[in-house]
Every structure is written in structure tokens, then in C-alpha cells.
Amino acid sequence: MGLYVKQRRNGRLVIVPGLVNRRAAEAGLWARGEFVASRYVAPAALPTDGAEAAKLGGYAAAAATAAPALQALAGVPVWIGVALVLAVAVIAVALLMRRERTA
């Protein structure tokens, strides 16, 4: 889904921040088993259980911070970008697993 974040401006492809945010939101919906509709659909109620709500908040924060970070990697060689994204993902998973074990 990260491929579809560009738009032509003056004949050149440029990354559009709004599309980056939209694709991150769509990825989050698909990961949760939700669907993305082209028309307005009322959102489901957020879970009130503390642990479940904290998990969803952590996932949302990770997605929100990952989109601009990926956009900032535009001039970096691909292998460095992949290594950085994987490192951040491993750290995030480790922290979430640690949090679950202590809860």
C-alpha cells in the first residue's frame, strides 16, 4: 500500500502526506479485519477495557509516527530504509510483548 502515495506535480512524482496518512489508516483497518468503505460508515465503538484500549492506542501511535518517518526516507538507499523500519518494528514488538507480560 506504500506504493500508492504519490501524485504527479509538474511532471514529477511527489509523495503526498495526505495519501501517506490515508494508506496508514487503511492498513490499520485491514489489520484489524475491518473494511474500508468509499462512503461514510459510522465507526465502531472503541473498547473500554483498559488493556485492549491501550494496545489499540499503541498501534495507532505507531502507524501515525511511521508514515512521516517513511516519507523522510525518500532520499536514503532502500536497504538502509528497510533496515531502519525493521529495527523500529522489532523494538515496538519487543516493548509490546514486555508490556503484556508485566500486565
Give tens-digit pLDDT for 28-50: 777 777 666 666 667 676 656 66
Does an H or E element contain 68, and which? helix 50-72
How far apart are alpha carbons 26 and 10 in whole angstroms? 28
Query: Which secondary structure element, helix H or strand E, spans residue 5, and what is its range?
Result: none
State phi, psi for 8 to the nearest 5 degrees: -80, 130
- Would you say residue 1 lies in a domain? no
Domain that holds residue 69: 6-102
Which residues lie below 8 Å from residue 92, measured CB to CB, with a gap of 6+? 58, 62
Q: Which amino acid is at 65?
A: T
The pLDDT of residue 48: 62
55 occurs within a structural domain: yes
Work out the mean pLDDT of the chain and round it to a whole number: 75
What is the domain count for the chain? Answer: 1
| Neighbour count for residue 29 (Cβ, 10 Å) | 13
Which pLDDT belongs to residue 50?
Answer: 66
Predicted confidence at residue 39, as pLDDT, reads 66
DSSP 10: T
Spell out, as residue ranges, where the chain has pLDDT lower than 50.
Answer: none
Q: What is the pTM of this model?
A: 0.32
